[in-house]
Structure 1
Amino acid sequence: MQNHFELFQLPQQFTIDAAALDSAYHEVQHRVHPDRFANASDSERRVAMQWATRANEAYKTLKNPFRRAAYLCELNGVDLEVESNTSMPPAFLMQQMEWREALDDARAAKDGAALDALEAAIRSERKAVLEATAAHLDNGDFRQAAGLVRQLMFLEKFSDEVANVQDALI
């Protein structure tokens, strides 16, 4: 079975051409769109639907940098060890603790400006970690990238938590 990169005829690397991904996705969707199989047999319609579903999932995975990074690690035999490996660099752990305190303080004070500043800091950190992840992935260092993907997972979850607190203030 083809992997997502092969499905869209893209190089198997983190850095991808977004326009090429979009174009390839639309081409695959055009070929397997269920409307094209309206007069086909049940089995042909079922296969077309399976391909359309697969193309949608592949597109979502490759379009999202975090999911693309995790997928590349997986493709290259590196388990992210999400459940069993919670080790993080000490500086990252300290940053997490500071952000948690800042979130708690901003929530208690109902301080929208502090939440905005926290969100900006997380966005900046996520960008830096994503750039480092991309460098490791494109250089074939999947083990190092896996640790960074775990950091990205935290950043994604914490960013969602900040957004939920912001929404609650509105």
Structure 2
Amino acid sequence: MTDPFDTLGVEPRFDLDLRALEQRHRDLSRALHPDRYAGAPAAERRLALGRAIETNDALRVLRDPIRRAEALLQRAGLARGEETQQKASPALLMEMMESREELSEAARKRDRARVARLGDAMRAREQATLATIGRAFAAAGGEAAQLKGVLAMLSELRYIRRFLDEVSAIEEELTDPI
């Protein structure tokens, strides 16, 4: 995949202004819209369509903080994906297992308030982790050696996201009539 920052023409940084990113995407989408190329030769239409697809893909990557961080790590020369994901620490795994057990118990007892509290606590942790990742990118200035710690934070963020997905599913289930 092409570099999403280059595709959208935005500065490669973790703390992107998402509103400005959306506006940049809209501007590019308007310029690349197929209607603008209706009378153009087939090759030009295909090129515009390909660029429009790349633009949409780039937006999806940069909207997601995990994928945005991976794109920045790749720019810094650190490979991304399954093969470079750091293993979660035993302490994190134990903590997540205990949190999931507590969530499961709250769901089994249909305790909406407890599910909500667990979700709120994990959302706060997600925000704190995102802030820490942002500070790490800002401090590293693109230096690959200083960014290796971000890999562990991304691993934690993935566990947090999975937990929050479970919370959402349980909350949806608890609001459905029996």
Q: State the TM-score, normalizing by the size of structure 2.
A: 0.85
Aligned residue type for 1:68: R
Structure 1 gaps of 5+ residues are: none
Change in CA separation of 1:8 and 1:129 when aligned onto 2, cut-off 3 Å: same
One-letter identity of the residue aligned with 1:64: D
Q: Report the counterpart of residue 96 of structure 2 in structure 1.
A: 96
Q: What is residue 118 of structure 1 aligned with on the other side?
A: 118
Distance 1:106 1:80, change over 3 A: farther
- The one of 153, 156, 162 aligned to 2:167: 162
Query: Cα distance, 1:95 vs. partner?
Result: 2.3
Moved over 3 A (4+): 79-86
How much does 1:138 deviate?
2.2
Structure 2 Cα separation of the partners of residues 37 and 81 of structure 1? 36
**Could you say if the C-alpha distance between residues 18 and 48 of structure 1 is closer, same or farther in structure 2, counting changes exceeding 3 Å?**
same
Alignment: residue pair count: 170
1:138 — aligned with what? Answer: 138
Contact map agreement 2:85 2:151 (CA 8 A) in 1: no
Q: TM (normalized to structure 1)?
A: 0.89
Per mean C-alpha deviation after superposition, the further-off stretch among 12-21 and 44-53 is 12-21
Find the counterpart in structure 1 of residue 156 from structure 2. Answer: 151
- Deviation, 1:74, is 2.4
| Structure-2 residue corresponding to 1:20 | 20
In 2: Cα distance, 1:5 partner to 1:85 partner: 22
> How far is the alpha carbon of 1:91 from its aligned partner?
4.1
Partner of 2:38 in structure 1?
Answer: 38
Aligned-pair Cα RMSD in Å: 2.1
Paired AA for residue 148 in structure 2: R
Unaligned segments of structure 2, at least 5 residues: 141-145
Deviation at 1:115?
A: 0.8
- State the alpha-carbon separation in 1 of the partners of residues 9 and 124 from structure 2: 32
Per the TM alignment, residue 15 of structure 1 is displaced from its structure 2 partner at its CA by 1.3
Distance 1:41 1:106 in 2: 61
Letter in 1 for 2:7: L
Residues 95 and 144 (structure 1), Cα distance of their counterparts in 2 relative to 1, 3 Å cut: same
Most deviating of 149-158 and 4-13: 4-13
Q: CA deviation at 1:107?
A: 1.7
Does the CA contact (< 8 Å) of 1:82 and 1:150 recur in 2? no
Deviation per residue, 1:69-120 (Å, 9 max, x gap): 1221222232356357553345433321221121121121011111111110
8 Å CA contact 1:4–1:62 kept in 2: the answer is yes
